[in-house]
Amino acid sequence: MGYRRVVVKLGTSVLTSGSKKLDKAHMVELARQMANLMKSGVEVVLCTSGAIAAGREHLQYPILPDTMAHKQLLAAVGQSQLILAWSQLFSLYGLHVGQLLLTRADLQDRERYLNARDTLNALLDNNIIPIINENDAVATNEIKVGDNDNLSARAALLCDADLLILLTDQKGLFDADPRTNPNAQLIKQVVNIDDSLRLLAGGSVSGLGTGGMATKLEAADIARRAGIEVVIASGHHPDVINKVALRESVGTHFSAIDSPLESRKQWILAGPASQGKLVVDDGAARAVVESGRSLLSKGITRIEGEFERGATILIVNTDTRVLAKGISRYCAADLRKISGKHSNEIEDILGYDYGDAAVHRNDMVVLENKEKAHVS
């Protein structure tokens, strides 16, 4: 069956073709491919990087202090150039574009998340290509998603896409960074993402991109848990977008998991940043990961961070391995009072009781995989 809605993420490495300026000749080719896909009835959302590179180019490579404010200056100048370029290029194919600049805060709050979703749907319903980037000009480190791989995965969840294509300067995910290891082999198919796979994915060394393969794997993991297939491929492979959409074997394909998360759990996974950690003992770890149970106060051994009731937290085991992400029913201060205690003692200790679970299984996404990795 064909794909219905596709998010295409273009890294700086693709948009500049490894140079210091936007490669407009290549951008027009990518716009052609996306327009072609739209014409064939597949809806396309573009997540574009390149604002900072475009800002540098437009200001003719100024020597600026390496501060947040100056990066934001470059992004502010560059984003307008970038969207202007995309708008002109898509207009060659008779298509309009609409710009969405997002920060983590827009995804964190469920209402704002749903508003952004409505805008995306409205644009697509009207045959307008949504173009997404992080709102770098106003986002500080604390409120940033931080890289467009993760942002594109969140966009894919937001618009209920069925395919996420991450285009970069390599043919896909290799078993080592091909820049430093000439014998590195392309991994064509991934059915599970685990620590052994994460070890293969390095950062960005080109000085152009943010995050390298490590953030692409994070993005792939988020998307596939929501039932979205992911392909990492080269943005310079001929007709790559259409080939991937036609399920031709290009790059690295990540299967979606069979039983995707329901919408609220997708939001827990992709929206809010975690504000603290609950360290749990082995019994609780098994209950959460293997049996899909709620986390009870009894199994919590330590609470890290200060947070309110309703905050998003990570559940980690004693080796600090992340097991799950969820919403805490109690604030950090009260959790410290009831950790290690039986549920039936909670009311006596706190004088109130929000139920047995510190994190209810309905408010939790288990991240630790039970299956073994399988790559081929």
What residues line the site for ligand ADP (CB under 6 A)?
A: 11-14, 49, 168-170, 173-174, 176-179, 200-202, 204-206, 208-213
| Binding site, annotated residues | 9, 49, 136, 148, 168-169, 210-216
Partner in contact with 328, chosen from ligand VHF, ligand ADP, none, beta carbon below 5 to 8 Å by kind? none
Partner in contact with 294, chosen from ligand ADP, ligand VHF, none, beta carbon below 5 to 8 Å by kind? none
Nearest-approach distance from CB 82 to ligand ADP, in angstroms = 14
Nearest-approach distance from CB 15 to ligand ADP, in angstroms = 8
What residues line the site for ligand VHF (CB under 6 A)?
A: 11-13, 49-52, 133-134, 136, 147-148, 209-211
Q: How far is CA 195 from CA 192, 212, 260, 281, 332, in A?
A: 10, 16, 21, 21, 29
Partner in contact with 200, chosen from ligand ADP, ligand VHF, none, beta carbon below 5 to 8 Å by kind? ligand ADP
> What are the phi and psi torsion angles at 328 (to 5°)?
-80, 135
Residue whose Cβ sits closest to ligand ADP: 11
Partner in contact with 52, chosen from ligand VHF, ligand ADP, none, beta carbon below 5 to 8 Å by kind? ligand VHF
Sorted by sequence, the CB contacts under 8 Å of residue 140 that are 6+ apart come out as 68
Per-residue buried b or exposed e for 130-162, using 16+ beta carbons within 10 Å of the residue's own CB: bbbbbbbbebeeeebbbbbbbbbbbbbbbbbbb
| Binding site, annotated residues for substrate | 49, 136, 148
Partner in contact with 51, chosen from ligand ADP, ligand VHF, none, beta carbon below 5 to 8 Å by kind? ligand VHF
Q: Which is nearer to ligand ADP, 252 or 317 (CB)?
A: 252
Rounded to whole angstroms, how far apart are CA atoms 51 and 63?
17
| Binding site, annotated residues for ATP | 9, 168-169, 210-216
Nearest-approach distance from CB 211 to ligand ADP, in angstroms = 5
